[in-house]
């Protein structure tokens, strides 16, 4: 017998993770609530903010039944907060939303339509840019991964390791929830490894329609990203060591030729990251001396 009072499971879940986001979370929330596709739930996990984030989120939650606001008692850390909203999601489709990002009003609608019509794709996104920048599929890491071969998708993704616009795609929740990497992601580059894991199992689409505009308030834009994940001398010399080991594991069944290409690429990105780390530390030191 049907229960008319039973709550309908939404088709799409949005997981918004936030810590001290009072300066920009209203814009992000307005962006989500203005979507032309309406059948979604918005899960907000507040990582024990100590500004006005809670007040703002409760205001929005009281005015829109689609919002579920959860305040963490203590700060879980960014990675655990990402996982928390994923585990809370109920929809068949899922996407993460940072508290300083905005998406075009048609973002969910056009990407959802594509995924429903193309079951061999695990995720779809619109062109990604920074709020103060222009779309660039290579620099932003949102280029389509539509090759039939998982090996080709994997190699293509590795070429754009510096950006990861695909992370904020609309994706099939089943693909994300089954990921091992997303549950063991406390290392630099884990978000890219997660996307590469998904790319082994399916294609990624990039629409021409709509857009995603990213803010710069996250850890990757703070200047402290290397320091945040540095645990030993090895971390200095090989900043992406854990990432490299994960990529090597994921590519275990690839051809010998591809493995050589992957090994060469991993050595290169660790070397480039090492140099960038030194440059970043010098810049921070000089800023500290002049402050």
- Compute the C-alpha angle 256/259/260, nearest 5°: 90
pLDDT computed for residue 1 by the predictor: 43
- Whole-model pTM above 0.75? yes
Confidence at residue 215, expressed as pLDDT on a 0 to 100 scale: 85
Give the rounded distance of the alpha carbon of 177 from its chain centre.
14
Mean pLDDT of the region 54-61: 98
- CATH architecture for segment(s) 12-220: Alpha-Beta Complex (3.90)
pLDDT at 227: 77
Contacts of residue 275, defined as CB under 8 A and 6 or more positions apart, other chains included, come to: none
Average pLDDT score, the chain: 90
Of residues 235 and 173, the one with the higher pLDDT is 173
CA–CA separation, 83 and 91 (whole Å): 15
**Least confident piece of the model among 63-72, 200-209, 231-240, 252-261:** 231-240
Which is more confidently placed, 236 or 89?
A: 89
Q: What is the mean pLDDT of residues 254-281?
A: 91
């Amino acid at each position: 017998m049907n229960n008319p009072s039973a709550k309908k499971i939404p088709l799409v879940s949005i997981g918004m993770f936030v810590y001290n986001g009072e300066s920009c979370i209203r814009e992000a929330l307005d962006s989500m609530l203005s979507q032309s596709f309406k059948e979604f739930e918005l899960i907000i996990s507040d990582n024990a903010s100590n500004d006005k984030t809670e007040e703002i989120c409760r205001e929005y939650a009281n005015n829109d039944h689609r919002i579920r606001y959860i305040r963490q008692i203590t700060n879980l850390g960014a990675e655990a907060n990402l996982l928390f909203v994923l585990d809370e999601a109920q929809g068949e489709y899922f996407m993460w939303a940072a508290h300083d990002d905005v998406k075009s009003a048609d973002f969910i609608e056009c990407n959802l339509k594509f995924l429903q019509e193309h079951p061999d794709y695990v995720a779809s996104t619109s062109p990604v840019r920074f709020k103060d920048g222009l779309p660039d599929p290579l620099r932003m890491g949102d280029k389509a991964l539509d090759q039939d071969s998982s090996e080709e998708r994997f190699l293509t993704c590795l070429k754009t390791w510096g950006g990861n616009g695909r992370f904020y795609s609309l994706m099939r929740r089943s693909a994300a929830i089954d990921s091992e990497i997303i549950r063991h992601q406390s290392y630099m580059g884990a978000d890219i490894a997660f996307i590469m894991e998904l790319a082994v199992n399916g294609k990624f689409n990039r629409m021409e329609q709509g857009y995603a505009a990213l803010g710069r308030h996250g850890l990757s834009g703070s200047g402290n990203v290397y320091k945040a994940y540095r645990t030993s001398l090895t971390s200095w010399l090989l900043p992406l060591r854990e990432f490299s080991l994960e990529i090597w594991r994921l590519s275990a069944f690839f051809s010998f030729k591809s493995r050589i290409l992957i090994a060469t690429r991993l050595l290169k990105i660790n070397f480039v990251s090492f140099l960038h780390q030194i440059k970043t530390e010098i810049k921070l030191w000089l800023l500290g001396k002049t402050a």
